[in-house]
Amino acid sequence: MDTQKVTVSDIRNAKNNRKLTMLTAYDYPLASLIDRAGIDMILVGDSVANVVLGLESTTQVGMHEMLHHAKAASRAVKNALVIGDMPYESYQVNPHESVKNAQRFIDEAKCDAVKLEWFDQCLEVTKEIIKAGISVMGHIGLTPQTADKLGGFKVQGKDAEAAQRLIKQALDLEKLGCFSLVLECVPDKIAEIITKKLKIPTIGIGAGAGCDGQVLVSYDMLGLFERFTPRFVKKYVNLSEQILNAVKTYKQEVVSGAFPAKEHTFSIKEEELEKLKGEKNG
Ligand code: KIV
Protein backbone atom coordinates (compact mmCIF):
# COMPACT_ATOMS: atom_id res chain seq x y z
CA MET A 1 0.00 0.00 0.00
CA ASP A 2 1.14 3.54 -0.80
CA THR A 3 2.40 5.18 2.38
CA GLN A 4 2.86 8.67 0.94
CA LYS A 5 1.30 11.48 2.95
CA VAL A 6 -1.42 13.19 0.90
CA THR A 7 -0.70 16.89 0.42
CA VAL A 8 -2.83 19.88 -0.50
CA SER A 9 -1.09 19.84 -3.91
CA ASP A 10 -2.13 16.21 -4.42
CA ILE A 11 -5.74 17.24 -3.78
CA ARG A 12 -5.51 20.14 -6.26
CA ASN A 13 -3.79 17.95 -8.86
CA ALA A 14 -6.47 15.26 -8.62
CA LYS A 15 -8.89 17.57 -10.48
CA ASN A 16 -9.84 15.98 -13.82
CA ASN A 17 -7.49 13.05 -13.08
CA ARG A 18 -9.20 10.95 -10.42
CA LYS A 19 -12.10 11.08 -7.95
CA LEU A 20 -11.30 12.22 -4.42
CA THR A 21 -12.59 10.58 -1.24
CA MET A 22 -13.21 12.13 2.15
CA LEU A 23 -14.84 10.85 5.35
CA THR A 24 -15.23 12.30 8.81
CA ALA A 25 -13.48 10.87 11.89
CA TYR A 26 -13.42 12.08 15.45
CA ASP A 27 -11.16 9.63 17.27
CA TYR A 28 -8.09 7.44 16.99
CA PRO A 29 -9.58 4.02 16.06
CA LEU A 30 -11.90 5.24 13.31
CA ALA A 31 -9.33 7.67 11.87
CA SER A 32 -6.82 4.82 11.75
CA LEU A 33 -9.21 2.50 9.87
CA ILE A 34 -10.24 5.21 7.41
CA ASP A 35 -6.60 6.08 6.79
CA ARG A 36 -5.64 2.43 6.28
CA ALA A 37 -8.47 2.10 3.74
CA GLY A 38 -6.72 4.75 1.61
CA ILE A 39 -9.23 7.61 1.91
CA ASP A 40 -7.62 10.86 0.68
CA MET A 41 -8.93 13.28 3.30
CA ILE A 42 -10.16 12.91 6.86
CA LEU A 43 -12.38 15.71 8.11
CA VAL A 44 -12.65 16.14 11.84
CA GLY A 45 -16.12 17.57 11.31
CA ASP A 46 -18.19 19.62 13.70
CA SER A 47 -20.81 16.93 12.97
CA VAL A 48 -19.15 15.41 16.05
CA ALA A 49 -21.76 17.51 17.88
CA ASN A 50 -24.64 15.45 16.47
CA VAL A 51 -23.21 12.00 15.90
CA VAL A 52 -20.87 11.62 18.89
CA LEU A 53 -21.85 14.15 21.54
CA GLY A 54 -25.65 13.83 21.22
CA LEU A 55 -26.17 17.58 20.71
CA GLU A 56 -28.87 19.10 18.49
CA SER A 57 -26.72 21.60 16.59
CA THR A 58 -23.15 21.84 15.35
CA THR A 59 -23.07 25.37 16.80
CA GLN A 60 -22.95 23.75 20.25
CA VAL A 61 -19.32 22.64 19.92
CA GLY A 62 -16.40 25.00 20.37
CA MET A 63 -12.64 25.02 20.03
CA HIS A 64 -12.14 22.92 23.16
CA GLU A 65 -14.16 19.95 21.83
CA MET A 66 -12.90 20.28 18.26
CA LEU A 67 -9.22 20.34 19.26
CA HIS A 68 -9.73 17.40 21.60
CA HIS A 69 -11.18 15.27 18.77
CA ALA A 70 -8.80 16.58 16.10
CA LYS A 71 -5.78 15.66 18.24
CA ALA A 72 -7.05 12.10 18.70
CA ALA A 73 -7.81 11.64 14.99
CA SER A 74 -4.58 13.12 13.67
CA ARG A 75 -2.51 10.96 16.05
CA ALA A 76 -3.78 7.94 14.10
CA VAL A 77 -3.30 9.20 10.55
CA LYS A 78 -0.23 8.38 8.49
CA ASN A 79 -1.37 9.15 4.95
CA ALA A 80 -4.61 11.10 4.63
CA LEU A 81 -4.81 14.89 4.62
CA VAL A 82 -6.37 15.84 7.97
CA ILE A 83 -8.75 18.79 7.94
CA GLY A 84 -9.99 20.48 11.10
CA ASP A 85 -13.51 21.85 10.86
CA MET A 86 -13.63 25.29 12.43
CA PRO A 87 -16.50 25.52 14.92
CA TYR A 88 -19.08 28.29 14.70
CA GLU A 89 -17.78 30.31 17.66
CA SER A 90 -14.20 30.27 16.39
CA TYR A 91 -14.74 32.39 13.26
CA GLN A 92 -18.41 33.40 12.93
CA VAL A 93 -18.91 34.77 16.44
CA ASN A 94 -15.28 35.81 16.68
CA PRO A 95 -13.97 36.80 13.21
CA HIS A 96 -11.02 38.69 14.76
CA GLU A 97 -9.92 35.49 16.53
CA SER A 98 -10.28 33.30 13.45
CA VAL A 99 -6.61 33.23 12.37
CA LYS A 100 -5.48 32.36 15.89
CA ASN A 101 -8.07 29.60 16.09
CA ALA A 102 -7.18 28.21 12.65
CA GLN A 103 -3.52 28.16 13.70
CA ARG A 104 -4.42 26.09 16.79
CA PHE A 105 -5.77 23.31 14.52
CA ILE A 106 -2.40 23.24 12.76
CA ASP A 107 -0.06 23.67 15.76
CA GLU A 108 -1.88 21.85 18.55
CA ALA A 109 -4.00 19.28 16.71
CA LYS A 110 -1.50 18.67 13.88
CA CYS A 111 -4.12 19.15 11.17
CA ASP A 112 -2.97 19.88 7.62
CA ALA A 113 -5.76 22.32 6.78
CA VAL A 114 -9.00 23.82 8.09
CA LYS A 115 -12.54 24.00 6.70
CA LEU A 116 -14.88 26.99 7.04
CA GLU A 117 -18.57 27.18 6.22
CA TRP A 118 -19.84 30.09 4.15
CA PHE A 119 -21.21 33.03 6.20
CA ASP A 120 -21.60 36.78 5.77
CA GLN A 121 -17.94 37.65 6.47
CA CYS A 122 -16.59 34.46 4.93
CA LEU A 123 -14.38 36.15 2.35
CA GLU A 124 -12.63 38.49 4.81
CA VAL A 125 -11.99 35.71 7.29
CA THR A 126 -10.86 33.18 4.66
CA LYS A 127 -8.49 35.76 3.19
CA GLU A 128 -6.83 36.38 6.57
CA ILE A 129 -6.42 32.66 7.33
CA ILE A 130 -4.89 31.97 3.91
CA LYS A 131 -2.63 35.02 4.34
CA ALA A 132 -1.34 33.38 7.54
CA GLY A 133 -0.21 30.42 5.41
CA ILE A 134 -2.98 27.99 6.39
CA SER A 135 -4.69 25.86 3.74
CA VAL A 136 -8.45 26.37 3.64
CA MET A 137 -11.26 24.20 2.30
CA GLY A 138 -14.47 26.16 1.68
CA HIS A 139 -18.00 24.88 2.27
CA ILE A 140 -21.07 26.26 0.48
CA GLY A 141 -24.67 25.21 -0.17
CA LEU A 142 -26.33 23.92 2.97
CA THR A 143 -24.11 25.20 5.77
CA PRO A 144 -25.42 23.58 8.97
CA GLN A 145 -23.96 26.22 11.32
CA THR A 146 -26.25 28.85 9.76
CA ALA A 147 -29.06 26.57 8.54
CA ASP A 148 -31.64 28.75 10.31
CA LYS A 149 -30.74 31.64 7.96
CA LEU A 150 -31.18 29.31 4.95
CA GLY A 151 -34.71 28.24 5.85
CA GLY A 152 -33.60 25.05 7.62
CA PHE A 153 -31.88 21.90 6.42
CA LYS A 154 -32.95 22.25 2.80
CA VAL A 155 -31.40 21.80 -0.63
CA GLN A 156 -29.78 25.10 -1.68
CA GLY A 157 -29.48 26.75 -5.10
CA LYS A 158 -32.83 25.51 -6.38
CA ASP A 159 -33.68 28.60 -8.42
CA ALA A 160 -31.56 30.52 -10.91
CA GLU A 161 -30.88 33.43 -8.54
CA ALA A 162 -29.84 31.19 -5.63
CA ALA A 163 -27.71 29.05 -7.96
CA GLN A 164 -26.02 32.20 -9.29
CA ARG A 165 -25.16 33.20 -5.70
CA LEU A 166 -23.57 29.78 -5.09
CA ILE A 167 -21.52 30.04 -8.30
CA LYS A 168 -20.26 33.46 -7.22
CA GLN A 169 -19.37 32.20 -3.71
CA ALA A 170 -17.45 29.29 -5.25
CA LEU A 171 -15.52 31.51 -7.66
CA ASP A 172 -14.73 34.05 -4.92
CA LEU A 173 -13.40 31.33 -2.58
CA GLU A 174 -11.29 29.87 -5.38
CA LYS A 175 -9.89 33.33 -6.15
CA LEU A 176 -8.89 33.79 -2.50
CA GLY A 177 -6.86 30.57 -2.66
CA CYS A 178 -9.05 27.82 -1.14
CA PHE A 179 -7.62 24.47 -2.23
CA SER A 180 -10.97 22.70 -2.42
CA LEU A 181 -14.67 23.27 -1.82
CA VAL A 182 -17.41 21.22 -0.15
CA LEU A 183 -20.79 21.48 -1.90
CA GLU A 184 -23.54 20.34 0.47
CA CYS A 185 -27.12 19.66 -0.62
CA VAL A 186 -27.03 21.31 -4.02
CA PRO A 187 -28.92 20.06 -7.13
CA ASP A 188 -26.62 17.83 -9.18
CA LYS A 189 -26.77 20.06 -12.28
CA ILE A 190 -25.72 23.13 -10.26
CA ALA A 191 -22.89 21.19 -8.60
CA GLU A 192 -21.77 20.12 -12.07
CA ILE A 193 -21.78 23.72 -13.34
CA ILE A 194 -19.73 24.85 -10.31
CA THR A 195 -17.34 21.91 -10.69
CA LYS A 196 -16.74 22.76 -14.37
CA LYS A 197 -16.17 26.46 -13.61
CA LEU A 198 -13.59 25.82 -10.88
CA LYS A 199 -9.95 24.81 -11.17
CA ILE A 200 -10.01 23.48 -7.59
CA PRO A 201 -11.79 20.20 -6.76
CA THR A 202 -15.34 20.15 -5.45
CA ILE A 203 -16.24 17.59 -2.79
CA GLY A 204 -19.94 16.79 -2.79
CA ILE A 205 -22.30 15.67 -0.05
CA GLY A 206 -25.81 15.45 -1.43
CA ALA A 207 -24.56 17.19 -4.57
CA GLY A 208 -24.59 14.36 -7.11
CA ALA A 209 -21.97 12.40 -8.98
CA GLY A 210 -20.60 15.31 -11.02
CA CYS A 211 -18.37 16.61 -8.21
CA ASP A 212 -14.64 15.90 -8.18
CA GLY A 213 -15.00 13.90 -4.98
CA GLN A 214 -17.42 12.80 -2.29
CA VAL A 215 -17.64 13.12 1.48
CA LEU A 216 -19.95 11.44 3.98
CA VAL A 217 -20.24 11.54 7.75
CA SER A 218 -18.64 8.24 8.74
CA TYR A 219 -21.20 7.50 11.47
CA ASP A 220 -23.96 7.78 8.81
CA MET A 221 -22.34 5.51 6.23
CA LEU A 222 -21.34 2.97 8.88
CA GLY A 223 -24.87 2.88 10.33
CA LEU A 224 -23.74 4.14 13.74
CA PHE A 225 -25.97 7.20 13.94
CA GLU A 226 -29.61 6.27 14.39
CA ARG A 227 -31.39 9.58 15.06
CA PHE A 228 -31.97 10.38 11.38
CA THR A 229 -30.49 9.50 8.00
CA PRO A 230 -30.37 12.16 5.28
CA ARG A 231 -31.49 11.04 1.82
CA PHE A 232 -28.00 11.46 0.36
CA VAL A 233 -26.48 8.90 2.73
CA LYS A 234 -25.73 5.36 1.64
CA LYS A 235 -25.30 2.99 4.57
CA TYR A 236 -22.47 0.59 3.74
CA VAL A 237 -22.91 -1.42 6.95
CA ASN A 238 -25.28 -1.42 9.91
CA LEU A 239 -22.85 -1.23 12.82
CA SER A 240 -25.56 -0.21 15.32
CA GLU A 241 -27.27 -3.57 14.80
CA GLN A 242 -23.98 -5.48 14.98
CA ILE A 243 -22.89 -3.70 18.17
CA LEU A 244 -26.31 -4.21 19.77
CA ASN A 245 -26.17 -7.95 19.02
CA ALA A 246 -22.61 -8.25 20.33
CA VAL A 247 -23.48 -6.47 23.58
CA LYS A 248 -26.59 -8.63 24.07
CA THR A 249 -24.52 -11.81 23.55
CA TYR A 250 -21.92 -10.57 26.06
CA LYS A 251 -24.66 -9.96 28.62
CA GLN A 252 -26.13 -13.45 28.08
CA GLU A 253 -22.71 -15.12 28.42
CA VAL A 254 -21.80 -13.26 31.61
CA VAL A 255 -25.16 -14.14 33.15
CA SER A 256 -24.93 -17.80 32.06
CA GLY A 257 -21.25 -18.14 33.06
CA ALA A 258 -20.11 -18.89 29.49
CA PHE A 259 -17.77 -15.87 29.69
CA PRO A 260 -14.98 -15.71 30.73
CA ALA A 261 -13.81 -19.10 29.42
CA LYS A 262 -10.49 -20.82 30.18
CA GLU A 263 -8.68 -18.92 27.40
CA HIS A 264 -9.63 -15.55 28.92
CA THR A 265 -8.40 -16.54 32.39
CA PHE A 266 -4.98 -16.42 34.12
CA SER A 267 -3.78 -19.40 36.15
CA ILE A 268 -1.37 -20.04 39.02
CA LYS A 269 0.81 -23.16 39.41
CA GLU A 270 -0.87 -25.86 41.54
CA GLU A 271 2.19 -26.07 43.88
CA GLU A 272 1.99 -22.34 44.61
CA LEU A 273 -1.67 -22.72 45.40
CA GLU A 274 -0.92 -25.66 47.76
CA LYS A 275 1.80 -23.58 49.44
CA LEU A 276 -0.65 -20.78 49.96
CA LYS A 277 -3.26 -23.15 51.37
CA GLY A 278 -0.61 -24.65 53.72
CA GLU A 279 0.27 -21.29 55.15
CA LYS A 280 -1.73 -20.22 58.13
CA ASN A 281 -2.61 -16.87 56.68
CA GLY A 282 -6.15 -17.53 55.78
O1 KIV B 1 -19.02 18.47 9.92
C2 KIV B 1 -19.11 17.72 8.92
O3 KIV B 1 -19.22 16.50 9.03
C4 KIV B 1 -19.12 18.35 7.60
C5 KIV B 1 -19.39 17.47 6.41
C6 KIV B 1 -20.83 17.21 6.32
C7 KIV B 1 -18.84 18.03 5.17
O8 KIV B 1 -18.95 19.52 7.50
Q: Tens digits of per-residue pLDDT, 188-214?
A: 999 999 999 999 999 999 999 999 999
| Active-site residue, from 117, 174, 184, 192 | 184
Q: Is the CB of 45 under 6 A from ligand 1?
A: yes
Are the beta carbons of 136 and 118 closer than 8 angstroms?
A: no
Q: Where are the alpha helices (DSSP H) in 7-51?
A: 8-13, 28-36, 48-51
Query: How far does the centroid of ligand 1 lie from the alpha carbon of residue 216, in Å?
Result: 7
Cα radius of gyration (the chain): 23
**Is residue 128 annotated as part of the catalytic site, yes or no?**
no
In the chain, % of residues over pLDDT 70? 98
| Residues 99, 106: Cα–Cα separation, whole Å | 11
Total-model pTM: 0.95
Contacts of 65 (CB under 8 A, 6+ apart): 48, 49, 53, 87
Number of the ligand 1 atom closest to the C-alpha atom of 217: 3
Q: Mutate which of 53, 182, 224 to test ligand 1's pocket (most atoms within 8 Å of Cβ)?
A: 182
Residue 28 has pLDDT above 80, yes or no: yes
| Residues 39, 12: Cα–Cα separation, whole Å | 15
Return the ∠ at Cα 85 (arms to 80 and 90), rounded to 5°: 150
Query: How far does the centroid of ligand 1 lie from the alpha carbon of residue 175, in Å?
Result: 23
Q: Give the three-class secondary structure for 233.
A: coil
Residue 144 has pLDDT above 60, yes or no: yes
Are the beta carbons of 191 and 211 closer than 8 angstroms?
A: yes
Number of the ligand 1 atom closest to the C-alpha atom of 144: 8
Residue type, 254: V
Amino acid 151: pLDDT: 85
Lowest-confidence range among 74-88, 100-114, 265-279? Answer: 265-279
Average pLDDT of the residues in 22-48: 98
For ligand 1, atom 8, which residue shows the shortest CA distance? 45
Query: How far does the centroid of ligand 1 lie from the alpha carbon of residue 159, in Å?
Result: 24
